[in-house]
Amino acid sequence: MRPSQPTIMNRISLLLAACIFAAASPMATATVSVKDSPFNATGNGVTDDTAAIQAAFDYALSLGGDTVLIPSGTYRVSAVLAIGSSTHVVGSGKGDTVIRPVGAAQGGFGGRTVNGVATAGGVLEMVAADNASVENLTVDLRTNSTLCNGIAMIPSNTTTGTPCTKCRVQNCHVLGFPTHQYLIWNLRAQHTRILNNYCDGGVTQQNTASGQEGIETFGGYDVLIQGNTLENIGEAGINVGSIPDAANSECVGVDALANYIEGCGIGIHLGTTANPVTQCKVCENVIISPWTQGIDAEMSRGASMTDLLISGNSLSKGQGIFLNGGNDTSGIVGATVTNNVIDDAVPIGGAIYAAFVKNVEFSGNKVNRSATQAVYLAYCDHVRVHENTFTTMQNQGLYAYSVTTLSIKGNNFKDYGGAGGRNYPGILLSSVAEAVVAQNAFEAALESNAVYLDSACNEGRIVGNSLLYTPAVYNPPMVNWGTNPNMASFTTANGATSVTISNTLAIKGSRVNVTQTGGAAKTWTISRTAGSFTVTFSSPAAGGESYLYEIVQ
């Protein structure tokens, strides 16, 4: 049963009310029924109604467009049904009007030739159509195990032909079975709307080889996927990608908004092997119990994804949010991940995982219970992790490796580091350059470091963080072993009158504070030059005096 989601459902209602497809032309006032003469479809589930339904579609096209009614009934079909421009196919409702294609046991399902091109894109397919639609019916691929897609919007030729424009699939129900199929398929179409549909793939356990997608858009401009329910899909509930090495299959402005996805291989997947994906939004979706990632943006090396927004999603019992630029930091450039809630993330990377990404911000997110980290970063450039709340992590709150220019500010880390009694720190940075860790709050599950920068870090700054617990002496809360840290310690040798510290953070405009932590009390003065500072004592050191310094920018 779907859990109660009052906040999400209110958002969905508001979004749906706002998504009127203004670009679509009004339906023609005249209508054609497939059961009327001369078409005479039966809808009895036994007679092959393929020819009758196609004749009605062709007749509507000959009029320059019309509404074709498919009344209540079960319609047996044996080949693709092609829909032309300005043709609007309307059933009596999901489960009331059922299109049931035959399968292999009934002789196999056939394709169709449209404008001289053989096609088999779906049981119902709009081919190079402008302003066409399918709504209020069911396509049942499951009963006869039909090897075909459900409802499709396809071009006149896969890679170079004229695409569909201003087409719509709305209030439809598509039943699949475990095979390579797309229940609703958009191929390179532009200004497309896929709204309020229900897709059930019939897959009840993880099957990464199934090739089944709930809603797939391969290429396309201005595609809205909104208010749909997708369940039991072998791979992605929603898949956004492109045809490998094919021109005209980039994805621009493909938005997945306010969908409900449960029990799929991946909740929402965005990725490509060649053509770019840009200006896409994944917002206000509810994703429950994916077998792997909830939201997965993953590129092959050499492909690119830019201007990605992931916002306001609710994810539970999966990996969470996964970004992978494909071994190249130019793979994903410019992403904002904000105001998402992730509950009960499974132990496959962090609840939020990012590798090979650039110019990415994670802000306002909440992670509640992660079997590993809340955030895992690797091989990234210019990353901001700001104002998030991370609660109950078995490992670190945040782990980063080989990241350049990392800002971690204003986050709340609570109940981290308790797995196996290993005392993981709240933040662990390794081989990170130019990190700022500032104004964060820490409350550990077990006594551990709040922040730990290893010796491979460079120019790491730890500033103004808060501890919501009393640290033990043997676990100092802030540790920075990197080169050129903003805070570190030093000791004096016997007879020393001064100590010079080389540090690239000691630049014009910075301030150096020194505090004595042990040994005979001394007084001193501080002088600074570019890249270093000198502490000069009022009298020679006895040796062994210890000090802590902090460079404040």
Indicate whether 163 belongs to any domain. yes
Q: Is the pLDDT of residue 550 over 80?
A: yes
- The residue among 262, 121, 136, 258 whose CA lies nearest residue 183 is 121
In a domain, 232, yes or no: yes
Query: Residue 17 — pLDDT band, cuts 50, 70, 90?
Result: very low
Residue 504 falls within a domain, yes or no? Answer: yes
Confidence category of residue 1, pLDDT binned at 50, 70, 90 = very low
Cβ burial, residue 226 (10 Å; 0-12/13-18/19+): buried
**H helices of 25-69, where?**
50-62
Question: Is residue 305 within 8 Å of 278, Cβ to Cβ?
Answer: yes
- Mean of pLDDT values over 189-209: 91
So what's the pLDDT on residue 238? 98
Please name the helix (run of DSSP H) or strand (run of DSSP E) that holds residue 9, with its range, or none: helix 6-17
Better-predicted residue by pLDDT, 444 or 347? 444
Residue 347 lies in a domain: no
Identity at 202, one-letter amino acid code: G
250, 274, 292 - which closes a domain: 292
Q: pLDDT at position 84, please?
A: 95
What pLDDT, in 10s, does the model give residues 341-370? 999 988 777 899 999 999 999 999 999 999
Question: Which pLDDT score is estimated for 208?
Answer: 66
Give domain status of residue 507, yes or no. yes
546 pLDDT higher than 80: yes
Do 278 and 303 form a contact (C-beta atoms < 8 A)? Answer: no
How confident is the model over 243-266, as a mean pLDDT?
88
Task: Judge whether 360 lies within some domain.
Answer: no
Residues present in the chain in total: 553
- 348 falls within a domain: no
In a domain, 277, yes or no: yes
What does the pLDDT read at residue 473?
52
Average pLDDT value over all residues in the chain: 88
Residue 11: pLDDT over 50? no
Mean of the pLDDT values across residues 323-328? 83
Could you say which of 269, 292, 315 is where a domain stops?
292
The CATH number of residue 54's host domain is 2.160.20.10
Domains held by the chain: number: 2
Spatial CB neighbours of 70, under 8 Å, sequence gap ≥ 6? 33, 34, 41, 43, 53, 89, 90, 91, 92, 97, 99, 137
Distance, in Å, from the CA atom of 225 to the CA atom of 296, rounded to the nearest integer, reads: 16
- Say how many CA atoms lie within 13 Å of 494 toward its Cβ: 0
Return the structure tokens found at 74.
């079960």
pLDDT at residue 8 is higher than 60: no
pLDDT for residue 240: 94
Query: Which two structure tokens, joined as six digits, stand for 356?
Result: 């090979």
Q: How far apart are the first and last CA of the chain?
A: 54
Residue 4 reports pLDDT greater than 80? no
Structural domain boundaries, residue 155: 6-292
Work out the pLDDT band at 504, boundaries 50, 70, 90.
Answer: confident
Which of the four pLDDT bands, split at 50, 70 and 90, describes residue 242?
confident
Q: How confident is residue 422, by pLDDT bands cut at 50, 70 and 90?
A: low
Q: Which helix (H) or strand (E) holds 416?
A: strand 412-416
Q: 260, 292, 324: which is the final residue of a domain?
A: 292
472 pLDDT band, cuts 50/70/90, is low
pLDDT top residue among 241 and 210:
241
Mean pLDDT of 85-94: 96
pLDDT digits (tens, 9 = 90+) for 19-30: 433 333 334 445
The rounded percent of the chain whose pLDDT value lies above 70 is 90
Pairing mode, if any, of strands 466-467 and 498-502? Answer: unpaired
**Of the candidates 176, 235, 184, 236, the residue with the CA atom closest to the CA atom of residue 202:** 176
* pLDDT computed for residue 24 by the predictor: 38
User: Who wins on pLDDT, 509 or 195?
Assistant: 195
Is 183 in contact with 214 (CB distance < 8 Å)? yes
